[in-house]
Chain A
Amino acid sequence: MKFFPLVWANLTRHKRRSVLTTLSVALALFLFASLRSVVTTLHASAEVGSESRMIVQSAKAIVFFLPMSYRERLLAVPGVKAVTWADWFGGVYQDPKNFFASFAADAESYLDMYRSDFTLPADQRAAFIKERTACIVGQHLLEKYGWHLGQNVTLQGTIFQGDWTFTIRGVYHATNPSFSEDALMFHYEVIYERYKSWVQPGWYVLELKDPALAPQVAATIDSEFKNSSDPTKTGTERAFNAGFVTMWGNVSFLMDSIGMAVVFAILLVAANSMMLSARERTNEVGVLKTIGFGDRLLFALVMAEAGGIALVGAVLGLGGATVLYPAIHFSAMGFLPGFAVAPGTLALGAGIALALALASGLVPAVSAARLSAVQALRHVE
């Protein structure tokens, strides 16, 4: 600790340079944590899907409907306990940039199916089920747009053209972190009535009597509809979520690549700054050696400076990302529910900060340690 004033004095010698270097490290780690969190959140959402639920979608693609008649036939499959269905609506609120997850569902069966993933007060549930033009919204979506219970909300349909007005009758709270609070759900009948000629369920959700039956149920369903005009693709909810992750392409590789590229670029900036700072003080290294400062001590002091910059940068960057996203309930318009910096990302970020400190401090620290006092003193004389 007695050397802290010396380290601090050197760090604050060029305040602007030190601040900018520290901020660049903080920004790099913030971006790294953010990009990495996209990957971890996607993977987490793929892994937390219920094992007792299965999704039945069109084998052609998720955008194709499945006949309503399938509902009864699915319910009759051995091992299936309950069935519900939904359609992606894809509406926007007032402005195209106000996009969030909105979908139509068979209200009662859907609420029953996901009863363990969110809470909805009984009176609000009853009001929602009773009123055909009612909707329920997630708590965060309600807060985001300043809505309130009883308010009429008009969405502009992007798939189902036209204006669609719903009355907010319920506000749900997610109890499962991967269940988005940035979503709006309304009655399937609303779009069915307007587009009766072509609207059908987009996907079915099955609740199994026993998760162990999943492979048999999937095989039974898919073989039953194999030769129909609407063949199915059945899988667990977890596999369905994972399928969405793969729809993002090789997003993990992309995010990690960008993150590492940013960190590497900043590393060069920080290393350059540290080396510049050390070069300016060559004479002072000579003075300290003359006084009796040993090679190891000088090495440690230079490394401490690099470590200080990396530590403050890490606290600002990683800490900032950790605090910021939950505080603003960031969920990428509902596509990344439960978006947060995972402990593993923090550990990796801390490791990068350590590597950054080593890489940026090592060259000037070794130079300071190896330089002879006479050489160092001649540097300015």
Chain B
Amino acid sequence: MTTNPEVPLSLVVLRKLSKHFQRDSQPITVFDDLDLEFAEGSFTALMGPSGSGKSTLLNLVAGLDRPSAGTVTVGDVEVSAMGPGQLADWRARHVGFVFQSYNLLPVLTAYQNVELPLLLTRLSKAERHEHVMTALGVVGLTDRASHYPRQLSGGQEQRVAIARAIVSDPTIILLDEPTGQLDAKSAAEILELLKRLNREFHKTILMVTHDPHAAQAAGRSLHLDKGVLTA
């Protein structure tokens, strides 16, 4: 079997993915038999109304949630088949996650927040320092390393969150409404940063968003509505 070098390899593969919830004895189907792939080095925006299953999909790819049926494969690893301990280790090495509300730990400085994923590695203190400063350099916040989240603007907090997501050089970066709480200018800066991460550092990015402007920044947009996917 040969591989066409012109066609990028699929990094994330979802096969026959189903997710059902039980709410007050009422079964809810988020999606059923969903097939989807994300190419390595791609930047995909996943859009759709609230409750359409965007965040659930993101959680399934990150191994934070388990599918009711079907498989989630990232690289050569079947994420949906891993146990909780393995998933935590896998996430630490392969997933960078950015939340809408930044979710920085308020008691830690920007530096310490970015360092968190590296605490799970065998890197020395000096090596961790180098990685943290590099990540903060990528997001343009080396001068804010010693600042606490409360001392940063929303845009700066989200950039620190992105630095935390990229510091361990993950396989994939997952973002859940990364510009949802930002003003237009800060949102534009974040999107430009994400484009740069994709373009210069070849990071595979999957971003959930409501914002059509944000979706334009991605190379590919997908629309999810009531569990049904449209391009």
* A contact set with B: CB distance below 8 Å: 2-3, 5-6, 9-10, 12-13, 283-284, 287-297, 372-374, 377, 380-381
Distance in angstroms from A2 CB to nearest chain B CB is 5
Nearest B-chain residue to A9, judged by Cβ:
B107
Residues in chain B near residue A372, CB distance under 8 A = 64-65
Residues in chain A near residue B103, CB distance under 8 A = 283-284, 287, 377
Q: Quick check: is B41 within 8 A (CB to CB) of the other chain?
A: no
Q: Quick check: is B27 within 8 A (CB to CB) of the other chain?
A: no
Q: Are B112 and A5 in contact (CB under 8 A)?
A: yes
CA gap between A374 and B93 in the complex, in Å: 19
Q: Are B125 and A294 in contact (CB under 8 A)?
A: no
- Which one of B69-77, B82-90, B220-228 is at the A interface? B82-90
30 pairs from A and B in contact (CB 8 Å cutoff): A2-B119, A5-B108, A5-B112, A6-B108, A6-B116, A9-B105, A9-B107, A9-B112, A12-B107, A13-B106, A287-B103, A287-B105, A289-B88, A290-B62, A290-B64, A290-B97, A291-B164, A292-B90, A292-B92, A292-B93, A292-B117, A294-B85, A296-B85, A297-B120, A372-B65, A373-B59, A373-B64, A377-B99, A377-B103, A380-B101
* B contact set with A: CB distance below 8 Å: 59, 62, 64-65, 84-85, 88-93, 95, 97, 99-101, 103, 105-108, 112, 116-117, 119-120, 125, 164
Distance in angstroms from A161 CB to nearest chain B CB is 68
CA gap between A289 and B107 in the complex, in Å: 17
Nearest B-chain residue to A10, judged by Cβ:
B107
Q: Are A374 and B64 in contact (CB under 8 A)?
A: yes
Residues in chain A near residue B99, CB distance under 8 A = 287, 377
Distance in angstroms from B7 CB to nearest chain A CB is 31
CA gap between A3 and B118 in the complex, in Å: 11
* Residue with the greatest number of chain B CB neighbours at <10 A, chosen from A5, A296, A373, A380: A373
Nearest B-chain residue to A380, judged by Cβ:
B101
Given A9-B105, A289-B88: 11 more A-B contacts, CB < 8 Å: A2-B119, A6-B116, A6-B119, A9-B108, A12-B107, A283-B103, A284-B103, A290-B62, A290-B97, A292-B95, A296-B85
Residues in chain A near residue B106, CB distance under 8 A = 13
